[in-house]
């Protein structure tokens, strides 16, 4: 599997993704500065978290219209897998790779803590090493993670099994207290219809090493390596 991480001015999870990919892949992913728009042949592109372009205007809005994202959109249309984490998820919704939008957290506070997630669709290249309904613990760190979509879009997400993860309690129940940001239907991550693009607010790369407090994110990277190698 050939993997690359896009680095924008303001990205701050790019190195964490690099470490997690190296661990699962056994070799280095390519780090691609946002000005380098001639992408090599790739099987996986990661759009990492951070505050691209200072989150000016709206979170992800500036990066969404950058030349390198036009290339990422083209590759995604050709079937290349795209993993978009946190600010990457915001960028992916802003550029139309994924449906919906991430609004300001309902609490208006930056939320930075471990959350429980329920795996809603383990039948994709991103999630195949998880079990259906498995509850995993992965940290969030965001101010704008309140997923919103109109009724028609929400219906389409349900009809096409596009919800990847939902915020839940330890037992997997969708209680109000388990929703850290007010997201519609507890949505923490969504796929595009073809399941080659995943966007999620939680940070699997921050839970890919027991020394960092958790290992539940590692299966996501292992899944990609197994599916795309």
Using CB under 8 A as the criterion, which residues of the chain lie in contact with another protein when the complex forms?
57-58, 61, 65, 93-94, 100-101, 103-108, 146, 148-150, 182
- Find the helix or strand (DSSP H, E) in which 25 lies: helix 14-25
Write down the catalytic residue from 86, 116, 168, 186. Answer: 86
- Find the helix or strand (DSSP H, E) in which 77 lies: helix 67-77
| Shortest CB 101 distance to another protein, Å | 5
- 57 or 112, CB closer to another protein? 57
DSSP state of 11: B
Write down the catalytic residue from 34, 116, 154, 203. Answer: 203
- State yes or no: is 160 an active-site residue: no
- Closest residue by Cα to residue 137 from 120, 154, 114: 114
- State yes or no: is 205 an active-site residue: yes
- State yes or no: is 86 an active-site residue: yes
Residue 163 CB burial class (10 angstroms; 0-12, 13-18, ≥19) = buried
Q: How far apart are CA 224 and CA 84, in angstroms?
A: 13
| Shortest CB 108 distance to another protein, Å | 5
| Shortest CB 107 distance to another protein, Å | 8
3-state secondary structure of 186: helix
Q: Which residues belong to the active site?
A: 86, 203, 205
């Amino acid at each position: 599997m050939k993997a690359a991480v896009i680095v924008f001015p303001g990205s701050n999870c790019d190195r964490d993704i690099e470490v997690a990919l190296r661990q699962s892949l056994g070799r280095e992913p390519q780090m691609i500065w946002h000005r380098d728009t001639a992408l090599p042949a790739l099987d996986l592109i990661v759009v990492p978290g951070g505050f691209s372009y200072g989150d000016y205007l709206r979170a992800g809005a500036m990066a969404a219209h950058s030349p390198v994202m036009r290339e990422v959109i083209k590759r995604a249309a050709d079937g290349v897998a795209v993993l978009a984490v946190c600010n990457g998820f915001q960028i992916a919704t802003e550029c139309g790779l994924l449906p919906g939008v991430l609004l300001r957290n309902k609490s208006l506070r930056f939320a930075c803590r471990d959350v429980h997630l329920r795996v809603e669709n383990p039948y994709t290249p991103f999630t195949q090493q998880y079990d259906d309904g498995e509850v995993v613990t992965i940290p969030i760190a965001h101010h704008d993670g309140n997923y919103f979509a109109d009724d028609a879009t929400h219906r389409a997400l349900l009809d096409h099994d596009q919800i990847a993860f939902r915020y839940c309690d330890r037992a997997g129940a969708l209680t109000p207290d388990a929703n850290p940001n007010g997201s519609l239907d507890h949505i923490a991550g969504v796929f595009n219809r073809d399941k080659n693009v995943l966007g999620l607010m939680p940070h699997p790369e921050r839970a890919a090493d027991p020394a960092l407090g958790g290992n539940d994110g590692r299966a996501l990277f292992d899944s990609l390596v197994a599916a795309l190698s």
